[in-house]
Structure 1
Amino acid sequence: MIVTSRCKLMKMVSGDFYDVVQIYKDPQVRRYLGGTVNDELLLKNKFEEILSKSKIPRVYFWCVRLIENGQFIGVVSLDQYHDGTNIELSYEFLPQHWGNGYATEVVRRMIHYSFTEIDLPKLVSETQTANASSCKLLERVGMRLENRLMRFGAEQAVYSIERT
């Protein structure tokens, strides 16, 4: 378990399926992520894929919960980036928890964890340029815009931060 001042990040397990499904079914969360996924079989397959990928070295998926009551608020992950070289930091939080600083808190903690506990030299994060809130969050935590590219039918911004 990884802890921030208000959140606990717990390794994703099979019992988290119905919490994680909330992320895939929410149109606000999925607005810049290819849309909602509502097919139950597809959701189960995606979730099983996540659990399977978690067994790969340096690949992690966590459920983010509030310390005060254990309520599920989102997911965060470290996974292989498209370039095959870097590790990507990704996050998705339920809309009712946006604007409270949870994502910033969790992303900062993940950057620290990545550099101090698993000794990564660099992290990247990719988001649609249209997702201004996500771009601002990545800049707020010290990531810098490295590249813009077209992927998934939209312009993407690739941010990065290196261990100092």
Structure 2
Amino acid sequence: MPTIHTDRLTLRELAAGDAGFILELLNEPGFLGGIGDRGVRDLDGALRYIHDGPAASYARHGFGLWRVELREGGEPIGLCGLLRRDTLPDPDLGYAFLQRHWQRGYAVEAGEAVLRYAGATLALPRVLAIVNPDNASSIKVLERLGMRAQGTIRHGTENRDVRLYATAEVDAGADAAPA
């Protein structure tokens, strides 16, 4: 998968060296409450998460969650990318950011780049997103990305109701072309 650059961010594949960052992100209260507990409690667990999740997705589908870092300085601040779930008919947009980087527009900027990549490079006609119905901040991000609510579904792996969002058609603009 290519590296993607936006004005402020770089999105790239996760690697073993990102285990410390993944350990921190997956154990933040915002991640645990908004996304769920992935059971990652140490660096070995973070390495397994990278290997069995994003790295396996890159190999199997040609996409996955990318590490999002600040272009200036390279500090990792979150994840954003595409997931392929057996419970959804199309790939879905996923993102999570360290809480100290919330409310700065990074989720929208990274999400726009991923949606452009989905349309221009992967030729995906539609991208979905699922969100906890009480996660107002994440719903706002999806709406700013131009995604529209499709209703509520029971998400199989989480066994909870989530709101489903979808793009009408992915924007294939070239603003965040792969480097």
Note whether the superposition's TM-score is higher than 0.5. Answer: yes
Over the residues paired in the alignment, what is the CA RMSD in angstroms? 1.8
Match of 1:125 in 2: 129
Match of 2:32 in 1: 30
| Structure 1 alignment gaps of length 5 or more | none
Preserved contact between residue 65 and residue 94 of structure 2 (Cα < 8 Å): no
Moved more, 124-133 or 13-22: 13-22
C-alpha distance 94-2 of structure 1, shift in aligned 2 (>3 A): same
SS of residue paired to 1:134: helix
SS of residue paired to 2:138: helix
- TM-score normalised by length of structure 1: 0.91
C-alpha distance 34-61 of structure 1, shift in aligned 2 (>3 A): closer
Match of 1:163 in 2: 169
| Structure 2 alignment gaps of length 5 or more | 171-179
Match of 1:89 in 2: 93
Greater strand proportion: 1
The 5 Å alignment of 1:14-53 reads: 14-35=16-37, 37-40=39-42, 41-50=44-53, 51-53=55-57
Moved more, 140-149 or 33-42: 33-42
Match of 1:75 in 2: 79
Preserved contact between residue 81 and residue 111 of structure 2 (Cα < 8 Å): no
Looking at structure 1, the residues matched to 46 and 73 of structure 2 have their Cα atoms a distance apart, in angstroms, of: 26
Q: What is the aligned-residue identity percentage?
A: 25
Aligned length: 164
Match of 1:115 in 2: 119
